[in-house]
Chain A
Amino acid sequence: MSPQILWFATRGAGIVSLILFSAVACLGLLAVARTQSARWPRFLTVELHRNLALLSIVFLGIHIVTAVVDPFTSLGIGAALVPLASSYRPVPVAFGVVSVYLVLAVIVTSLLRERIGHQVWRAIHWASYAAWPLAVEHTLTAGSDSWSFWMLAVQGTCIVAVSAALVHRLTSGGTNRSRLAAVTGGTADPVAVDPAWRNQ
């Protein structure tokens, strides 16, 4: 097998992972913000978020395995499992390793959601706020062509998209739960939701 294939696979799978991961992050933020439109129901955001997350794991797996197995890189399995154990750009690779561990924790707890309960699941899900920036950092510093024009365009788009989703989430007014005490106490009004939002 041409060693070039493994090298292409590593980089290609890595880029696809980043794009998918960014899409997952956007969808997660939009889900909490209860975003929807006439053509985009709320359940679509959540189900797409979950399905793309599982898909991104596949590409992440390809990225890691091909990188480790490639005879022309000096990455051994230790580099993939232990942060800073890589002899090639140890810190950038470590960003990736930590990011993967956080993502795995999030995915595993999500798959076991019904067993572990909502509170524990939610606490661990906060780790995704660290996992995504680490993945971006890893792409920028560990990648061999991260400063080429097209890679900058891809990375820039991902960063802008997730940032925009974050801003939207922060300005969307919070969940119902945060308003319950105020409405009971009479300091907030029980504004009924737009009927169009309720019907489907």
Chain B
Amino acid sequence: MTATFRPRPTARPDRPAGPGPARTELVVDRIACDGFGMCAELLPELIELDDWGYPIVAAGGVPDQLLDHARRAVAVCPVLALRLARIPAAPVERGNAGWHGNRPSSVRG
């Protein structure tokens, strides 16, 4: 049941982490989420909890073999904060003046 989790940059669903094929992604409603953390119990391969119990979702979408587990994780959330979304393949739209185009950790000093 234990699986190692390697933290990867989180993906934001309305702006895909990079141009890529269509895929299924886990989307967290960050305002509804209250840190129950059961999603991480049911899908440790893709979801880890931060120091305060809130989910960190690995980027890159949900692989097919984990879809059933992902659906179970979506169903268990007591506040309906987790959902599966089909993200179409799309180029990235970014602004130029702010951090939107960069994750801070990827910026070189």
Give residues in A with beta carbon < 8 Å to B. 31-32, 34, 41-43, 46-47, 113-114, 117-118, 175-177, 190, 192-193, 197-200
Q: Is the CB of B80 within 8 A of A176?
A: no
A residues near B49, Cβ cutoff 8 Å: 198-199
Instruction: Indicate which residue in B40, B50, B51, B78 contacts A31 across the interface (CB closer than 8 Å).
Output: B78
Give residues in B with beta carbon < 8 Å to A. 2, 32, 34-38, 40-42, 44, 49-53, 76, 78-80
B residues near A41, Cβ cutoff 8 Å: 38, 41
Instruction: Indicate which residue in A117, A118, A200 contacts B44 across the interface (CB closer than 8 Å).
Output: A200
Q: Is the CB of A43 within 8 A of B80?
A: no
Q: Is the CB of A193 within 8 A of B34?
A: no
Q: Knowing A47-B76, A176-B52, A193-B53 touch, does A200 contact B40 (C-beta < 8 A)?
A: yes
Tell me, in angstroms, the Cα distance from A175 to B34 when the chains sit together.
7
Instruction: Indicate which residue in B36, B50, B79 contacts A42 across the interface (CB closer than 8 Å).
Output: B36
Tell me, in angstroms, the Cα distance from A198 to B41 when the chains sit together.
9
Question: Which of A118, A190, A192, A197 has the most chain B CB within a 10 Å cutoff?
Answer: A118
Q: Is the CB of A192 within 8 A of B32?
A: no
The 9 A-B residue pairs with the shortest CB-CB distance in the complex, in nearest-first order = A43-B38, A192-B51, A198-B49, A118-B80, A176-B35, A43-B41, A42-B38, A193-B53, A41-B41
